[in-house]
Amino acid sequence: MPDLLLELRSEEIPARMQRKAAGDLRKMLTDGLVEAGLTYEAAREYWTPRRLTLDIRGLNARSKDIHEDIKGPSTSAPEQAVQGFLRKAGLSSIAEAHVHSDPKKGDFYVAHISKPGRAAEEIIAGLMPDIIRNFPWPKSMRWGPASAKPGALRWVRPLQSILCTFGPETEEPVVVDFEIDGIRSGNITYGHRFLAPGEITVRRFDDYVSKLEAAKVVLDADRRKEIILADARNLAFANGLDLVEDEGLLEEVSGLVEWPVVLMGEFEEAFLAIPAEVIRLTIRANQKCFVTRSQGESEALSNRFILTANIEAKDGGKEIAHGNGKVVRARLSDALYFWTTDQGDLPDLVELEASAKKFGLDLKKPLDQRMARLDHLNVTFHAKLGTQGERVERIARLAEELAPIVGVDPALARRAAVLAKADLTTEVVGEFPELQGAMGRKYALLQGDHKSVARAIEEHYKPQGPSDRVPNDPISIAIALADKLDMLVGFWSIDEKPTGSKDPYALRRAALGVIRVLIENGSSLRLTKILQEQWMNWSHTRSAAEFARPLETIASAKKAGFDVGDPQDEKSVITTIAAQMFDKNSIEQDLDLHMGVIVPDLLSFFHDRLKVYLRDQGARHDLIDAVITPRSDDLLQIVRRVEALGSFLDTEDGKNLLAGTKRAANILAAEEKKKTAVAETVAPALFRQDAEKSLFAAVNQAEKQAGEAIQNEDFSAAMLALSVLREPVDSFFEHVLVNDEDLSVRANRLALLTRIRTATGQVADFSKIAG
């Protein structure tokens, strides 16, 4: 069967766009081919900085002829129905339709549609101009004289040539001819821009790859990555060093070169005084180079780096390495300045005294100064959620409340919370935002803070994704929880919740972070109480102001008829208006009302994220639903209940008890629907069968023991306690007729079934379990 080779060659495509663009090209073309009636055996995309390539194998030479009957309305149908049928069938008049008869339905119209197949070349030529013109680049451009014309072609960078050949291996392939904005397809491509820029005539994929390789172009991006990584490791090893590997950088660098040549550069050892993270980021971000370290060293970097050139230089790359070294030295000089400046005193210390007093900061310490400045400058966290300083105060309060729960000194927890955001105003983090937290830890250690405090400053952002590790130091746990819970409560309070696929503030990630921190550290926390307290922390400081915010300027307040007096600044207007708008009691009632809505809704959000987390861990969805109730607020307890329930139901006792319990629940549901009388309590005097007596005794025992086990959070013991019900339940249903003719006996037996449901319901809602 024929194969298709397609190449779109342009100026350099940004590395971050290449992989997705190649995938988009494959999907757009193959979808179009399939929709046109063609099939193919395999398709694979390739990319380099200057070309997107598609290799499609086993493509049909021609689409099949189509014969289709489209049934229409009755011949007596109204004109509107007939016209709809004509549009659907593509007929110009009803005379082109045929009339069929049915003994039951009478005469009706049928359109016999016949469409001859088309050659694959014709289909491809029809698809490609639209694909190119409507290609989903994140950013695109126009170029040349044609760019001034309406509807001019847009591409990520100027499109230079199109190669498109089609044919079987045993025959000479043909060029699929099409043209777009003056660029006509052909069988010509070009090699490396500098090393082999001449024309290359191509027949099919195999000789295309080999000829490009001879012209200094490695087509396969994964192979370029392998070459870069292997050569970088070998070059580092030959110089007594180890390569610090970086998969993200390797992916990017492989998209910058068509013919990778690995070289080594160096910088002065004096720059090694800068933290390793800063050196690595500086060299990575500005020069796309890898750093190295001495062999056997886990942290200390060397003063040599690995770069990847796109050319084989006559001098072996010495000048290229020297030039890169000059740029790296300049960048590291900036980084050294940032690092040194962050450890010195700020020039405006006098202005920071009020903020320092508020947070208990020591202005002799550089990181404390940065926190004081963050508060003093009133840096906004969110327009409706106040400043970073206000947020830090809320986090600090919550951290103190959480400290006894996780077993740490509240003073240390508060200290870590107060300094957690301090590095946001440092020079290094200003240059490299991805180092927030990490630099805070380093600066905290340099100024003599407790190691756990410093660690918490870095780790309170974690986990930042499903593959990120969870903090396990108790202080880190407290600050990580406080930070994420404050964010969730705050955004819920202003009704900025995730909707559909939109989650601009990463609140799903924050909730999943809380879940993972609690579960993976075995920490038990009653979320309802914590959420309520944090809601009150937020609302008491901001609610009145938020009510008055539309009238926060002096002019708007006076226009609305409020007596604002003679305020010293605009901010005091809010307080003045709020005092006139609301009295304390009405505000308290309003806050209680909001809390009654927000906290259950946020708890439900946690339940949804927990379900996703547990399903990813392999838990059965029906067991999760059976355990979670709207009031379940201890996430660790939910997980342990699910685990214990799953283990119990894997046993014979569990399976049989489930069957009996569901039977009891079904009978109760049916009788309750019929409004059959059910006794409020079980009366042993009405028992007529030994099976009733045995079940009653077993339920009393199981209910008591299971309740005690749940109080002790021993859910395996609770399941064991329920297991004694298995035989009495089986015996009851075997020997006892629930719907006895005596109404009082029937009501008593239904009450006994209610006791079964109540006893098992302490652990889970068995009616929601499959099986």
pLDDT tens for residues 546-567?
444 444 444 544 554 555 565 5
* Closest-CA residue to 249 (of 274, 294, 221, 285): 285
Contact present, 735 and 688 (Cβ < 8 Å):
no
Q: From CA 537, how far away is CA 493, in angstroms rounded?
A: 12
How far, in Å, CA of 724 to CA of 742, rounded? 29
Q: Which residue has the tokens 């005097």?
A: 685
Report the pLDDT value the prediction gives residue 660, as an integer from 0 to 100.
Answer: 83
Token pair, residue 344, equals 């010195």
Reported as a pLDDT band with limits 50, 70 and 90, residue 536 is confident
Could you give the C-alpha distances from 78 to 106, 110, 239, in angstroms and in order? Answer: 15, 16, 88
CA distance 527 to 606: 10
Tell me the one-letter amino acid at 336: L
Amino acid sitting at position 236: A
156 or 65, higher pLDDT: 156
For 51, the 3-state DSSP assignment is strand
Residue showing tokens 């003093």: 376
Tell me the average pLDDT of the chain: 88
Select the more confidently predicted residue: 739 or 449: 449
User: What's the average model confidence in pLDDT over 287-302?
Assistant: 88
**Residue of higher predicted confidence among 78 and 213:** 213
Count the neighbouring beta carbons within 10 Å of the beta carbon of residue 648.
22
- The span from the CA of 710 to the CA of 728, in Å, is 22
Confidence check: pLDDT of 545 > 50: no
Stretch among 102-116, 161-175, 277-291, 402-416 having the lowest mean pLDDT: 102-116
pLDDT confidence of residue 559: 52
Inform me whether the pLDDT recorded for 269 exceeds 90.
yes
Cα–Cα distance measured from residue 761 to residue 661, given in angstroms and rounded to the nearest whole number: 10
Please give the Cα distance from 149 to 320 (Å, whole number): 42
Strand segments, DSSP code E, in 339-475 are: 380-382, 386-387
Structure tokens, 705: 């023991």
**Residue 540 structure tokens:** 């008491």
Query: Could you tell me which residue, 311 or 742, shows the higher pLDDT?
Result: 311
Q: Encoding tokens for residue 94?
A: 């009803």
The pLDDT value given to residue 341: 94
DSSP 298: S
| pLDDT over 50 (residue 186) | yes
Is 323's pLDDT higher than 60? Answer: yes
At 678, which helix (H) or strand (E)?
none
pLDDT at residue 551 in the model? 41
Which of 317, 308, 301, 331 lies closest to 230, judged by CA? Answer: 308
Residue 100: band (very low, low, confident or very high) from pLDDT cuts 50, 70, 90 = confident
3-10 vs 159-167, strand pairing mode: antiparallel
Q: How many CB atoms lie within 10 A of CB 596?
A: 11
| 521 Cβ neighbours under 8 A, 6+ residues apart | 470, 472, 477
Per-residue pLDDT tens digits for 358-406: 999 999 999 999 999 999 999 999 988 889 999 999 999 999 999 999 9
What is the predicted pLDDT for the residue at 111? 85
Q: How far apart are CA 605 and CA 587, in angstroms?
A: 26
Q: What is the structure's pLDDT at 540?
A: 61
Q: What is the pLDDT of residue 128?
A: 97
Summarize the confidence of residues 48-60 as an average pLDDT. Answer: 96
**Tokens 């359109």 — which residue?**
111
Coil, helix or strand at residue 210:
helix
End-to-end CA distance of the chain: 51
Report helix, strand or coil for 7.
Answer: strand
- In a 3-state reduction of DSSP, which class is residue 429? helix
Cis peptide before 463 (omega within 30 of 0): yes
Look at the block and give the residue holding tokens 């302490």: 762
Instruction: Summarize pLDDT for 458-509 with one digit per residue, the tens.
Output: 999 999 888 889 999 999 999 999 999 999 999 988 889 998 888 999 999 9
Q: Locate tokens 């099409």: which residue?
A: 178
User: Phi, psi (5° rounding) for residue 433?
Assistant: -60, -25
Q: What is the pLDDT of residue 544?
A: 44
Strands 188-190 and 199-201: antiparallel
Q: What is the pLDDT of residue 555?
A: 52
Strand partners, 294: 241
Alpha helix (H) ranges present in 291-387?
318-342, 353-359, 366-376
Q: Which residue has the higher pLDDT, 198 or 741?
A: 198
Q: Are strands 183-186 and 159-167 parallel, antiparallel or unpaired?
A: parallel
What per-residue confidence (pLDDT) applies to 543? 45
- Largest interatomic CA distance in the chain: 106
Q: State the sign of the Cα–Cα–Cα–Cα dihedral 465, 467, 468, 473.
A: positive
Distance CA 286, CA 182 (A): 38
Is the dihedral angle over the CA atoms 514, 515, 519, 525 positive or is it negative? positive
In this structure, are residues 625 and 642 in contact, taking their beta carbons and an 8 Å threshold? no
5: pLDDT strictly greater than 90: yes
Q: What percentage of residues in the chain have a pLDDT greater than 70?
A: 92
